Structure formats: C-alpha cells, structure tokens
Structure 1
Amino acid sequence: MLLAGLLLAFSALLGTGLLSLTHGHAAPYIAENERLRLLASLNAVIPPDQYDNDLLTDTLELSDPQLLGMEGPVTIYRARRGGEARAVAFRVRALGGYSGPIELLVGVAVDGRLSGVRVISHKETPGLGDAIEAGRSDWISGFKGRSRTNPQDAGWKVKRDGGVFDQFTGATITPRAVVKGVHRALQFYDLHRDQIFLTTAIAKETAE
C-alpha cells in the first residue's frame, strides 16, 4: 500500500509538472492568438488605413455604468494617424435584449460619426435575433456614418417606435436593444471626448 501511494504521488507530481511545462510553452502562442483576434475585431470597426499607431497599447480605462451598461472600467482603444486623433473603439452592453444583454464593439470617428459597429456576443434566438451579426445580414452595417445628429436623438429608435432604424420581421426586441446601445455609445463619446483625447492635446502643447 505504501508503494502504491508513493507511485500515485509520483504520477500526480509528474502530471502536474508536464501540464505546467506544456502551459508555459503554449502561453505565448495563446496570448498572440488572442491579440490577433482582438486586433481583427478592432479593424472591423476602425479601418486599418485610418491609423498608424498601436491600438492595443494606446488605451485608457473609463467607467460610465449608465451609458456603457457595465459596472467596471471599459478599455478605450484610440486610433491616431501621424499623431492626430482619428477614432476610438470601445465595448458597450446593450440591455433589454430578448435573451439578455448584447455585447457590442463600437467605433467612433473623431468627428462623432460611427465608423463601425459589431456584435461581440449575444444569446438571441437563432434565425431571428441573430440577424444582428455581420455574418448573417448587413443590418449592423447600417450604423456606419450615423451620429448624434444623424438622426437626432428622437430618431434613435426602430421604425415601430417612431425611429429610423429597421427592425426584423418577427423580432423587434433585439434590434431595439442594439439601437439603444449604439445611441448610448455615442452619448458616452460626446460626454468623454475631451478626456479620451487629452493626451493628444498635451502632446501638441508640449511640441509647440
């Protein structure tokens, strides 16, 4: 029994060691894959030709639970070209979805126009609510170029509610939630724009 116990302990230690070694070897590859996936998502809402800086390091953290729908801080990715501010991208949680919150990645150009919107995750009904995905329909691309004044605030609703945005046949709740979430993202940008690009202003003053 003692020998069996020792063998079992040795096997456990050996397995743990091999697992740690394998994880340590794979960790850099996993991290790189995650980095590439994040960059691909950002490029979907901020065209790559709009920036020449490193989006993944030119960031800051801001909190606004009321507008972003999340309690903790959200990472703001800042795009610049030649040192000039071009756009930002950040996550927003669209509340009120049919099956729960809908996570969005929103890109906003420096002038306040949307450069792109993509759905990160959702639990909406397949065949109905999942039309918010870029791979299933072009509905989500309809936000590009929109802003706080295009349409005015009252127009940021689906057509059934008196707004300008289409809803899906048999599924109004999902697009309604997304429209509200994108509208809140634009409100967040307008409210925090100066804070987001503060470092740009400082850099210009220092250079002058």
Structure 2
Amino acid sequence: MSGAPREALRAAAQLALAGLAAAVLLAGTWALTRERIAESEHRAQREALQIVLPAALHDNDPIADAVSVRAPGWLGQPESTVRRARRGDAPVALVLDATAPDGYGGPIRLLIAIDQGGRVLGVRVTAHAETPGLGDDIEAGRSDWITRFTGRALGDPEPARWRVQREGGEFAQFAGATLTPRAVVAAVRRALQFVAEHGDAVRGAEAGATLSFNDAPADPPPAR
C-alpha cells in the first residue's frame, strides 16, 4: 500500500479511537451524574420523612414496612413507594411518594404523610425545577407555604376549594407564579383521595408487595 492511503487509514483509525474514547467518557460522566442525582433525591426523601412523620407517632420502621403502588392516575408517576407507619399492630399513617406532573418547570416530586383519620401530617418537596425566586417558594426553606397543608383533609376545605385562591380556592398562589402552587395543591388533593379510596388495601398488603390501581380521581366541582 502506498504512503498516502496508509496515512489516510491511520488518520481514520485515530479519529475512530478518539470518538470511542469520547463516547466512553460521556457514558461514564452520565452514569456518575445519574447516580449522584438519585443519591441526592434519596437523601432529600429520608430527611423529609423525618419531618412529615414524627417518630413519636409510630414504633415500626416505615421504610421496611413499605409497598410499591402503581397508581399513576392518583399519584402522578408510574410507580410510587408507600411507607406504612404503625404503633403496635394499629396503622397510624401512610407516607406516599407523589408527583405533581404539571409544574411550571416540570414534574414536582413530593412526600406526603396522611394519618389514619385522613388528615395531612405534612408535605415536603423532594425535587423540582421551578423558577428560582418565583416557583421555588414551595420549598420549606424558602417560605412556609408548604406547611399550610398540615391538618387539612378532603372536607377541610370543601372539595370545591381545593384550589388556589385565584381560582376560588383556599390556598394562596405566588406573585407571578400560579402554575406551581396549583400543581402542588392538586397533587396533595389526589393523594388524599387515593388514601380515602384505596388506603385499606395498601395498609393490608404484605410488606414489599406491589399493588396496581388503574382508576383515577374525579376533579372537584368548580368553586362558586
């Protein structure tokens, strides 16, 4: 083979090797970043669990006593973890992973604790991409807005008022940002509806079981 074709082949081989090395580097970076993001989300969920579910209320390990739930129509994501809190053999609360899929910046991931009487023990945001200075007031570290769900139930307020104030509801919106609080209010309401409808099945399942619910909640009537 003459010199020119040989050099061309060598250059092509070097280019292919460089491309392969770049692809491997990108794949490694992506995998590392994905692991760090997942680890950060898990840490946020563990910290939020300690906040929304006071330790004094239960004597079991809710993380070990958990089930998987496939109920996207209710909880906004393909599969959710529901942790069961108990005192002795008596159920105390359910702590649900849920997603508000219609946030302004994308899905808003939530941890929602609901007691045996159907009242909210606490809600915390575990991940979101809302606009800094506007939609991020859903974070407990930014404002007390998310704490205002504590003690609420499906009848408190009445169904038509499970909306932001601009739409005739009970819950405040943020200046310049209505979509974010609207999405969170709706997600909390759906979680309460899910527990009211399917809570007994979730409480009675074996730890580690996977339950599927293919129905979905009805929207509340418009506020007058």
Q: How does 1:50-199 map to 2 (within 5 A)?
A: 50-71=57-78, 73-198=79-204
Work out the CA distance in 2 between the residues paired with 1:54 and 1:167.
36
Work out the CA distance in 2 between the residues paired with 1:44 and 1:134.
11
Q: Which residue of 2 aligns with 1:47?
A: 54
Go from structure 1 to structure 2 and tell me whether the alpha carbon gap of 1:55 and 1:34 turns closer, same or farther (over 3 Å shift): farther
Matched AA of 2:102: G
> Looking at CA atoms only, which structure, 1 or 2, has the larger radius of gyration?
2
Three-state SS of the structure 1 residue aligned to 2:192 is helix
8 Å contact 2:105–2:129 — kept in the other structure?
yes
- For normalisation by structure 1, the TM-score amounts to 0.76
Which whole-Å deviations, capped at 9, do the CAs of 1:147-194 have from their partners, x for residues lacking one? 111012111000000100001111111101110111111111111111
8 Å contact 1:105–1:120 — kept in the other structure?
yes
Go from structure 1 to structure 2 and tell me whether the alpha carbon gap of 1:81 and 1:92 turns closer, same or farther (over 3 Å shift): same
Three-state SS of the structure 1 residue aligned to 2:126 is strand
What is the Cα-based RMSD across aligned positions, in Å?
Answer: 2.0
1:37 Cα shift?
A: 5.7
8 Å contact 1:64–1:70 — kept in the other structure?
yes
Identity %: 47
Three-state SS of the structure 2 residue aligned to 1:189 is helix
Work out the CA distance in 2 between the residues paired with 1:106 and 1:120.
10
8 Å contact 2:45–2:126 — kept in the other structure?
no
- For normalisation by structure 2, the TM-score amounts to 0.71
Which whole-Å deviations, capped at 9, do the CAs of 1:18-39 have from their partners, x for residues lacking one? xxxxxxxxxxxxxxx9987643
1:83 Cα shift?
A: 2.2
Which whole-Å deviations, capped at 9, do the CAs of 1:108-156 have from their partners, x for residues lacking one? 0011000000001110000010000001100000000001110121110
Greater displacement, 127-136 / 43-52 = 43-52
Structure with the larger RCO, 1 or 2 (CA within 8 Å, 6+ apart): 2
Work out the CA distance in 1 between the residues paired with 2:119 and 2:136.
25
How many residues matched? 168
Matched AA of 1:75: T
Which whole-Å deviations, capped at 9, do the CAs of 1:43-72 have from their partners, x for residues lacking one? 21111111110111101111111111112x
| Larger helix percent | 1
Work out the CA distance in 2 between the residues paired with 1:190 and 1:161.
25
Work out the CA distance in 1 between the residues paired with 2:43 and 2:104.
31
Query: What stretches of structure 1 of length at least 5 have no aligned partner?
Result: 1-32, 201-208
Work out the CA distance in 2 between the residues paired with 1:104 and 1:34.
11
